[in-house]
Amino acid sequence: MSKAPLFEKISVKGTLFPIEVSMKRLHLSHPYTCNGQEFSSLPMYDTSGLHGDCRTQVDPHVGLPPLRSSWNFPRTVQLGVAQTQMHYARKGVITPEMEYVAIRENQQLEEWIRSFNRHGKKVEPITPEFVRQEIAAGRAIIPANLKHPELEPMIIGRHFRVKINSNIGNSAMGSSIEEEVEKAVWSCRWGADTVMDLSTGANIHQTREWILRNSPVPIGTVPVYQALEKAGGKAENLTWELYRDTLIEQAEQGVDYFTIHAGILQEHLPYAERRLTGIVSRGGSIMATWCRHHQQENFLYTHFNDICEILKSYDIAVSLGDALRPGSILDANDEAQFGELKVLGELTKQAWQHEVQVMIEGPGHVPLNLIEENMQKELELCYEAPFYTLGPLITDIAAGYDHINSAIGGALLASLGCSMLCYVTPKEHLGLPDRNDVREGVIAHKVAAHGADIARGNPTAWLRDTLMSQARYSFAWEDQFNLSLDPEKTRAVHSQSIAASGYSAPNPDFCTMCGPDFCSMKRTQKMGKGN
């Protein structure tokens, strides 16, 4: 009789729509009991799509099947007609995407969620109606372009799991289309909830097309990068018409959210010029250059209503870019940063008038003692729209280890309510990341996001940690490996250390840190048995 795989892909059917929500199930080596419930397996949130299914081979030249095309909720692009999740949410309509993300967030653990009680706080499973309410209020978004049917819907908001984003993309200095597609798929495998294609080199359109057709997660872009390429690399040659055409081109391909630096205004530039590191956002520096050269207001700001007309037609979310994020801790929380944040709040209300979904981008380099103010200001000035931040990095001297630097700041900010963390890799400030850097960056920020979920009282996060602790206490090594965020690495590290010690048994009831005579858990177990 063949042994069941430790991980298997499963799908959970919806009750309102003909949807099947993809997850993975971990089969444990033996049952564990938590809160009186027995767990012989654990359903897990999974971002890998069909790429993570060993039974399926995805041809990158063909791409993924159009999952959402078969759902009984037809929507077609009509320019100027709102087709957004917010539009339907405000009308009281639950969409297939809303039911999908509710099922996905619960992970088939409704009974556990209802039984969970930490410090007297009771929690209820997430319902499609709750999702609808959060989207209607602007506190959450489901980025899902009508033209990206391959996407498996996910939700970004502070009442849901903390999400992470992986940045990929070529540059003029290197990387090919195939490499960037591989990085996108690799990101999804290790747990990235969204991917941003920040390509600035050759073949931007083709690279993005391949990534979209192979991506089960939302794809974001910064459209001004491609617009700049069309303008010959000269910011002063940019025009609204060129930018608008680029927006429509990317919308037609299926991009799910755009970072748009519409909040940097001429009045902010003198503040930025007094900074230690000036403007460190690529998009921000492009628009600042345009404003200074033409002595005119940022055309992304003056044409923001026109932008929203395009976005609402495709159901593309806007990620309001922080062009003035601090690039050094000395510049954190200054007049430039918070002046722009106030404008982003005004643009949020403007987008909501068009029923466009919004999230707010945040810093940047911020010392630990100033992080909380960023969350408070964002909630106050941007009306509780989801906060999406780069880190923040808590020091300027961690080159080579900025993924750790960013994860520390990100964990704190997410515990306070940040909705999504943009990963940073070990190559930050140093070079273009390769696939191993992507893996390191994703895992570091998964640690941060999971830690924040625990702090926020997410029952599914608490369950995974509880099972891990039980597995650790009982020396169930395979369960420990598989419950970790990187089973391959944990298994390899353990095996190598045991082999190096010369011990013959593959999984003894100790590790090489303490050895057989100094293991505290082994000794405690003997005490409990009366030995």
Find residue 419's DSSP bridge partners.
none
Whether the Cβ atoms of residue 50 and residue 64 lie closer than 8 Å to each other: yes
450 known ligand binder: no
Distances (CA, A) of 385 to 38, 99, 141, 258, 345: 38, 21, 9, 16, 9
Annotated binding residue at 283? yes
Name the DSSP letter for residue 396.
Answer: S
Q: Which residues pair with 156 in a beta bridge?
A: 141
Q: Does 422 belong to an annotated binding site?
A: no
Annotated ligand binding at 429? The verdict is: yes
Q: Would you say 157 is a known binding-site residue?
A: no
- The answer for residues whose C-beta is within 8 angstroms of residue 499's C-beta and 6 or more apart is none
140 is in an annotated binding site: no
Cα 367 to Cα 387: distance, rounded to the nearest angstrom: 18
Burial class (CB in 10 A: 0-12, 13-18, 19+), 339: middle
Instruction: Please report the sign of the dihedral spanned by the C-alpha atoms of residue 118, residue 120, residue 122, residue 123.
Output: negative
CB atoms within 10 A of CB 399: 12
Between CA 514 and CA 519, with CA 516 as vertex, the angle to 5 degrees is 50
| Alpha helices (H) in 214-332, listed in sequence order | 223-230, 240-253, 269-273, 282-294, 299-302, 304-314
- Say if residue 514 carries a ligand binding annotation: yes
Determine whether the annotation assigns residue 281 to a binding site: yes
Is 323 assigned to a binding site?
yes
CA–CA separation, 494 and 201 (whole Å): 41
Supply the angle between the helices 371-381 and 402-415 in degrees, to the nearest 10. 50
Q: Is residue 294 part of an annotated ligand binding site?
A: no
325 marked as part of a ligand binding site:
yes
Q: Any binding-site annotation on 225?
A: yes
Q: What is the SS3 assignment for 285?
A: helix
Token couple for 242? 């060129």
HSE-up of residue 337 (Cα within 13 Å, Cβ side): 26
Residue 408 phi/psi, 5° resolution? -65, -50
Residue ranges in 299-334 assigned as alpha helix (H):
299-302, 304-314
The rounded distance, in Å, linking the Cα atoms of 271 and 423 is: 28
Which residue numbers belong to the known binding site for [4Fe-4S] cluster? 511, 514, 519
Q: Which residues are annotated as a binding site for Zn(2+)?
A: 365, 429
Annotated binding-site ranges for substrate: 167, 196, 225, 261, 281-283, 322-325, 361, 388
Annotated binding site: 167, 196, 225, 261, 281-283, 322-325, 361, 365, 388, 429, 511, 514, 519
